[in-house]
């Protein structure tokens, strides 16, 4: 399965300015969050990227993308009709081809020699089916993420056959429907913010759109996808950082700094700062 196209969704009211923020990457180079996301995608071999934006945001995104702007197609989502609608608005871009999907408010740090997106794409190519990246997540954070239930494939430590998909379940609901044998108690497989999806997802979203829902949910579409064709979850070796939550951008910056070439300098300055704060509190 060839994956040559990718989608980044960034039109949400609380999301649209986040990819424009500047951080310092692991190499000590200032970059926008958008540039970091695009570079994550390009390492997979993807050749074209669509960004779903709010009308009027294109110039700001072109500037934030820098030299990568030439690779981008901008698709406007003129009404807040949901994550699924944002994806469906790219159907003419994907043209019945599988695609990589990322959100514009997450950054990733891999614990493997390959990037997080590369790990996911490699699995999707090998298995020739839709694959969603997941991360074991404590039940206290279920309100932030969609989650899946299923079973680990035999002799495949990080790969799961998906049997159910639920959007932001309660701990009680998760305990009833989303237990995955082998995970630590109180932990569930929650979405990581990236998927590789087959063209079937666009057909499903189109059918859901005909039902005239107020908001088109991607999770609902993924639940239907699981019933129609093989659909897997892959536990990525890495961490996701949601820059849209409180202190999220700061946490992401700290994680990048501590994993990069200036780690010792950052650690030293952090210790100095903590020490000075402790002294002033006495």
Which residues touch 227 (CB under 8 Å, ≥6 apart)?
A: none
User: What is the per-residue pLDDT for 115?
Assistant: 96
What's the angle, vertex CA 44, arms to CA 232 and CA 32, rounded to 5? 110
> What does the alpha-carbon distance between residue 241 and residue 247 come to, in Å, rounded to a whole number?
10
User: What is the domain partition of the chain in residue ranges?
Assistant: 5-281
Nearest 5°: the CA angle 214, 90, 159 is: 90
pTM, to two decimals: 0.93
> 5-281 has which CATH code?
3.90.550.10
Over residues 220-268, the pLDDT tens digits come to 999 999 999 999 999 999 999 999 989 999 999 999 999 988 899 989 9
Share of the chain above pLDDT 90, in %: 81
Cα 136 to Cα 119, 155, 188, 220: the distances in Å are 17, 19, 5, 21
For residue 97, what pLDDT band results from cuts at 50, 70 and 90?
very high
Q: What is the pLDDT of residues 152-192, one digit of tens each?
A: 998 888 999 999 999 999 999 999 989 898 899 999 999 99
DSSP state string for 125-151 = HHHTSEEEEEEEEEGGGGGGSEEEEEE
For 180, what's the count of Cα atoms within 13 Å in the CB-facing half-sphere?
30
């Amino acid at each position: 399965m060839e994956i040559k196209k990718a989608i980044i969704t960034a039109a949400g009211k609380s999301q649209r300015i986040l990819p424009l923020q500047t951080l310092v990457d692991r190499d000590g180079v200032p970059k926008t969050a958008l540039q970091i996301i695009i570079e994550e995608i390009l390492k997979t071999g993807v050749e074209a990227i669509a960004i779903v934006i709010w009308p009027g945001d294109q110039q700001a995104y072109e500037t934030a993308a820098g030299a990568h702007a030439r690779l981008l197609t901008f698709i406007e989502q003129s009404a807040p009709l949901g994550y699924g609608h944002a994806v469906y608005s790219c159907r003419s871009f994907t043209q019945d081809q599988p695609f990589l999907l990322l959100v514009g408010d997450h950054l990733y740090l891999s614990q493997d020699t390959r990037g997080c997106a590369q790990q996911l794409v490699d699995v999707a190519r090998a298995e020739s089916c839709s694959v969603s990246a997941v991360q074991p997540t404590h039940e206290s954070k279920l309100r932030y993420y969609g989650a899946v239930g299923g079973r680990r494939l035999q002799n495949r430590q990080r790969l799961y056959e998906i049997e159910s998909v639920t959007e932001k379940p309660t701990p009680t609901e998760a305990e009833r429907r989303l237990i995955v044998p082998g995970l630590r108690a109180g932990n569930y497989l929650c979405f990581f913010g990236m998927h590789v999806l087959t063209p079937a997802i666009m057909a499903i979203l189109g059918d859901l759109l005909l039902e005239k829902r107020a908001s088109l949910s991607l999770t609902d579409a993924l639940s239907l996808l699981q019933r129609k064709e093989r659909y897997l979850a892959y536990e990525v070796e890495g961490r996701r950082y949601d820059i849209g939550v409180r202190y999220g951008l700061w946490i992401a910056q700290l994680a990048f700094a501590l994993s990069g070439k200036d780690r010792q300098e950052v650690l030293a300055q952090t210790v100095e700062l903590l020490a000075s704060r402790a002294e002033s509190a006495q």
